[in-house]
Amino acid sequence: MTQQHTRQQHDEIAHYLRTAIREGYFQPGDELPSEAELTRKFTSSRGPVRQAMSTLRTEGLISSGRGRRTVVLDNVPTQSFDDIISFSQWCHNADIVPGQRTQWVTRRPAEKSLAASLRIPDGDPVVSVFRLRLMDDVPTMVERLNYPLEVGRHVLAFDTDSGSIYQELIDQGVDISRTSRTIDAIGANDDDAALLEVPVGTPLLRVRRRAFTSAGELIESSDDRYLPWKASFTMNSTRGNPSSMALTSTHLGDI
């Protein structure tokens, strides 16, 4: 019973500190309460307090200390593969209601540049979707999706105003295993400006994504443009750990 009690107390202390950090009660750079303060606050012995601190260290929320004071670290929550690829999923996690207004869905022969980006022969059929995405009913992002017909036929059969195309593809058994993304900035064109209700030329955060099966077949080429005051990317890096994101110099040929 004592063991059980102690384990609960360790969890309780960790939960308290984690919540206080997540809700901003302790800001990054802030010093955590001392061991002595925490033992008093929780009428605890030092064991559970130390165990709770160790848990938070493992979670990357607080500094290692090394005999110095323990401080809250700037922490970026990692995101799962689904969070990254699905606007709907991402909104749900942030307690935001995702929305979509489909502008059009077409099946058409791929013109040259689209065929190249999907690595299919010119003129092969592709399915393209043009949607405005909303956060809590506010225009946020313009989405251009393109699929080879084999995948796109699932999109043609789906009500694209009803929610996540990504989830529908997964439900239909499409193997989406890897994505490659390029992030840059671009001015809103006429279509973007009209949908996002901003002037033409407004700087947008652009994410171009290609998705692959586990065998390396390309099954999606997309272009998402976010209002930068609605969404941004954050990432942490630590010395000694290579980054999975690379800043890449752009070759003129790519423009």
Touching a second copy, residues 125-144 (CB under 8 A): 135
Residue 169 and residue 158: Cα distance in Å, rounded? 9
- Within residues 83-112, the interface with a second copy by CB under 8 A covers 83-85, 90-91, 94, 96
Q: Which is nearer to a second copy, 148 or 152 (CB)?
A: 148
Pair of tokens at residue 53: 């601190």
Structural contact between residues 92 and 170, judged by C-beta atoms closer than 8 angstroms: no
Per the document, the length of the chain is 255
* CA pair distance 194, 199, nearest whole angstrom: 8
Cβ-contact 11, 54 below 8 angstroms: no
Is residue 123 a contact point for a second copy (CB under 8 A)? Answer: no
Q: Which of positions 140-169 make contact with a second copy (CB under 8 A)?
A: none
Residue among 92, 176, 221, 222 that touches a second copy (CB under 8 A): 176
Asked if 33 interacts with a second copy (CB under 8 A), we say no
- Using CB under 8 A as the criterion, what x/- string covers residues 202-231 for binding a second copy? xxxxx---x-x-xxxxx---------xxxx
Residue choice 66, 113, 137, 159 for contact with a second copy (CB under 8 A):
66
One of 78, 106, 162, 172 touching a second copy (CB under 8 A): 78
Residue identified by tokens 């043609």 is 156
Does 250 sit near a second copy (CB under 8 A)?
yes
Burial of 57: CB neighbours in 10 Å, binned 0-12, 13-18, 19+? middle
Report helix angle 46-58 to 2-22, nearest 10. Answer: 50
CB of 39 to a second copy, least distance (A): 22
